[in-house]
Amino acid sequence: MSDLHTRHKAVLPEWLALYYADPLEITHGEGRHVWDADGKQYLDFFGGILTTMTAHALPEVTKAVSEQAGRIIHSSTLYLNRPMIDLAERVAGLSGIPDARVFFTTSGTEANDTALLLATAHRRSNQILAMRNSYHGRSFTAVGITGNNAWSPTSLSPLQTLYVHGGVRSRGPYAALSDAEFIEACVADLKDMLGQARGGVAALIAEPIQGVGGFTSPPDGLYAAFREVLWEHGVLWISDEVQTGWGRTGDHFWGWQAHGASGPPDILTFAKGIGNGMSIGGVVASAEVMNSLDSNSISTFGGSPVTMAAGLANLTYLLEHDLQGNARRVGGLLIERVRAICAQLPVVREVRGRGLMIGIELVDPGTGEANPRAAAAVLEAAREGGLLIGKGGGHDTSVLRIAPPLSLTVAEAEEGAAILEQALRSV
């Protein structure tokens, strides 16, 4: 065990998860690569949990951070903040939400927490609908709506949460149905759930593609069908775009757009990739919903001039270089390559995802049951080969998660796929 690992264990919580039997210290990065403390280079296919969205050490972002830090680092929301207003205008316009207002936070957890505050205040109800197998953060309220037991350390909550079917297509009681039948069954379940709820439900919160849950998703169209039912009951729709936003899925800028809904969600949350590693989260809602709070509030660190400058530079780079289009093109090639690799491997149950958001579900070939040991072994073997990937899944972390920076090249995709193939075959 390294000295740094020993020090980590002596001073930090034991529930603070670390990857690898011999944990890795990353010292620096450039483009799609990072280096460890021993000088070994890795191709990064996880981006600090989908957070390094464009590239490591992107010059445009590092320059913006440096220049802003040289002027002023912090002021709080008690003062006018030009970088925050600039970024809010860009995000509001991109959100698709009419008369949008934007509130910046420091993380996705805090963004979802704020969305829940808005929804419950606006609807005067603490009842929330969430998806089974979901993950929305680590705060007390976010844990209270998380449907993945592996990431839910307490059953106590200030919210009354009811869990709806639909986030996982290929497992569960509706798995054998066609896509149309699956949507119909999930809508019936939603209607039944709303019929059981006393008083008015505040909101449904859902990830268009479940992140920690293993990159699972329903058939396109489910959330549009859900929205029709929610409208009838006055229930708000919160789209958790912490992992799916900013074009990562390739086909769409936001994950909710894959569902062909007749309009945007009532509330949209974001984080991770917009800051390219800087701590940015946020909530977008219409003025009616956002302004429904009847007390004062501030954010000490949300909307920091430095993080806002980083977000502006990163978003500008992403749009000007069409990284959404790159995610679609290179991601399409990568997922087909991975599917070809996995087609003859009994340990692989399914390859799924879209754009540069790909999941590989591993099972025991004899039983078809989840195989977290295999996932851990592939993670180790990929690292040995010079590739960093992630893990996730229902309650068993048996899904390999692949989510490189959106500037990934075709050559890098091929290189990563080759290393992944070796790692999978070794298991």
Selection from 362, 388, 425, 359 nearest residue 19 by Cα: 388
HSE-CB at 106 with a 13 A cutoff on CA atoms is 10
Return the beta strands (E) in 325-389 as ranges.
Answer: 348-353, 358-362, 387-388
Reading the block at residue 37, the tokens are 């403390």
Proportion of the chain above pLDDT 90, given as a percent = 86
pLDDT at 181 over 70: yes
**Exposure string for 320-340, b = 16+ CB within 10 A, e = fewer:** eeebbebbbebbbebbebbee
pLDDT of residue 156: 66
Domains of the chain by start residue, with CATH: 3-57+325-426 (3.90.1150.10), 62-320 (3.40.640.10)
pLDDT per position as a tens digit, 192-222: 989 887 778 999 999 999 999 999 999 999 9
Q: Which residue carries 């929305």 as its tokens?
A: 136
Q: Is 380 helix (H, G, I), strand (E, B) or coil?
A: helix
pLDDT at 280 over 90: yes
Selection from 404, 356, 387 nearest residue 56 by Cα: 404
Q: CA torsion sign, 136 to 142 to 143 to 146?
A: negative
Task: Compute the average pLDDT of residues 306-310.
Answer: 98
pLDDT of residue 151: 64
Reading the block at residue 30, the tokens are 């450039």
d(CA 31, CA 316) in angstroms, rounded, equals 17
Angle at 145 between CA 144 and CA 150, to 5 degrees: 80
d(CA 309, CA 292) in angstroms, rounded, equals 29
pLDDT of residue 1: 66
d(CA 321, CA 333) in angstroms, rounded, equals 19
Task: Compute the average pLDDT of residues 151-166.
Answer: 81
pLDDT per position as a tens digit, 233-265: 999 999 999 999 999 999 999 999 999 877 899
Task: Compute the average pLDDT of residues 18-40.
Answer: 97
Containing 8, the helix (H) or strand (E) segment is: helix 3-11
pLDDT of residue 386: 98
Proportion of the chain above pLDDT 70, given as a percent = 98
d(CA 42, CA 388) in angstroms, rounded, equals 7
pLDDT of residue 136: 86
pLDDT per position as a tens digit, 361-389: 999 999 999 999 999 999 999 999 999 99
pLDDT of residue 150: 65
Residue 149: pLDDT band (50, 70, 90) is: low
Name the CA dihedral angle for 112, 113, 118, 123, rounded to a multiple of 10 degrees.
Answer: 100
Summary mean pLDDT of the chain: 94
pLDDT at 421 over 70: yes
Task: Compute the average pLDDT of residues 314-341.
Answer: 98
Q: What is the pTM of this model?
A: 0.94
Helices (H), 321-366: 323-342
Q: Which is it for strands 33-36 and 41-44: parallel, antiparallel or unpaired? A: antiparallel
Task: Compute the average pLDDT of residues 46-50.
Answer: 96
